[in-house]
Amino acid sequence: MGLKIIVLAKQVPDTRNVGKDAMKADGTVNRAALAAIFNPEDLNALEQALRLKDKYKGTTVTLLTMGPGRAADIIREGLFRGADDGYLLSDRAFAGSDTLATSYTLSCAIKKIKDFDLIIAGRQAIDGDTAQVGPQVAEKLNLPQVTYVEEVLKAEKGKITIKRRLERGVETVEAPLPSVITVNSSAPSCRPRAAKLLMKYKHARTMSERQSQAEDYIDLSADRPYLNIQEWSVNDVETDAQWLGLTGSPTKVKTIENVVFQAKESKILTASDKEIDELVKELMLNHTIG
């Protein structure tokens, strides 16, 4: 029995490789200096979906991402690794969304996709480290959720069995389908791009990308519909404007501060016997040690 799986994936700035030029002089983040990458745990999520596809014949994997136009890269990356298709949700109306507005918008798009058995998200996105969107999508769709997933053991007879990682232990749980699960970085990493798929999907584009291509661009998507990446704006998805974007975000950023240290006055020592001996004596005298 094949499953219809939707994978939620986000394009994020690579906060793990923050260089010296990542902060501007005025203390704001210099987004241009950070590469945009596939959120790492979303790759773990994709791998779980692809494993189910390997295991259960007829399974399809659909990516869903919300972001600016360039987030179409996320869909392409997914196609190169074995996903079947994908949707990019992109509109100014979605800009400035916090996790709640994001999950609202994603859940509206999922309702439009309609036919699915399982939604797989990453546990958290490295730009915010919030881990909220998965559970919030589940709530908006009125579906059960299982977070911190390390392995989907099986998905049969309308049920899914899952191993999940707790702080100090592991748990095996069973949930009905459809459900929402979020996958941990401790799950297996994603398989690499497949050369064959890279060839097949190299020219996959959204409508807006196609329109902004150079003149000599040859559009093949009419003959090869799989090269068309679906792009949805606010008009394509049934939403209520009051829950979208900045308006739909209950959390507001009041202030942002760049982190600066006040240097303490410190005693500078060398590792000579004499100085270490004196340090130890001093620490013992003031009862820090001993």
Partner 1 sequence: MNNIFVICEMDEGKVADVSLELLTKGRSLANTLKCQLEALVLGHKLTGVEKEIFPYGADVVHIGDDACLAPYTTLPHAAVINGLFKVEKPQIGLLGATTMGRDLGPRVSSALYSGLTADCTALEIGDHEDKKAKKVYKDLLYQIRPAFGGNIVATIINPDCRPQMATVREGVMKKEIYSASHKGVVKKIDVGQFVKPEHLVVKVIERHMEKSRVNIKNSSIIVSGGYGMGSKENFQVLYELAEVLGAEVGASRAAVDAGYADHDRQVGQTGITVRPKLYIACGISGQIQHTAGMEESAMVIAINNDPMAPINKMADYVITGDVMETIPKLIKFYKKNSK
Interacting stretch for partner 1, rule CB under 8 A, among 8-16, 45-53, 213-221, 224-232?
8-16
Which residues, in sequence order, are CB contacts of 273 under 8 Å at separation 6+? none
Distance CA(182)–CA(123), nearest Å, equals 5
Instruction: Give the CA count within 13 Å in the CB-facing half-sphere of 220.
Output: 8
Q: How many residues bind ligand FAD (CB under 6 A)?
A: 2
**To the nearest whole angstrom, how small is the minimum distance from the Cβ of residue 11 to ligand FAD?**
17
Query: Which stretch in 5-13, 108-116, 151-159, 217-225 sits in contact with ligand AMP by CB under 6 A?
Result: 5-13
Using CA atoms, how far residue 71 sits from 115, 144, 214, in Å, is: 24, 28, 20
Q: Which residue is nearest to ligand AMP (CB)?
A: 122
110 binds ligand AMP (CB under 6 A): no
- Which of 39, 34, 37, 35 is CA-nearest to residue 9? 39
DSSP string, 133-198: HHHHHHHHTT--EEEEEEEEEEEETTEEEEEEEETTEEEEEEEESSEEEEE-TTSPPPP---HHHH
| Binding residues among 145-184 for partner 1 as defined by CB under 8 A | 145-148, 161, 165-176, 179
CB of 21 vs ligand AMP, minimal distance in Å:
25
- x/- track of binding to ligand FAD for residues 4-43 (CB under 6 A): -----------xx---------------------------
CB 35 within 8 A of CB 65: no
Q: Which is nearer to ligand AMP, 51 or 200 (CB)?
A: 51
Name the residue whose CB lies closest to ligand FAD.
Answer: 16
CA 123 and chain centroid, separation: 8
Q: Which residues bind ligand AMP (CB under 6 A)?
A: 8-10, 39, 41-42, 45, 64-67, 99, 102, 106, 121-122, 124-125, 128, 130-134
Q: Which residues bind ligand FAD (CB under 6 A)?
A: 15-16
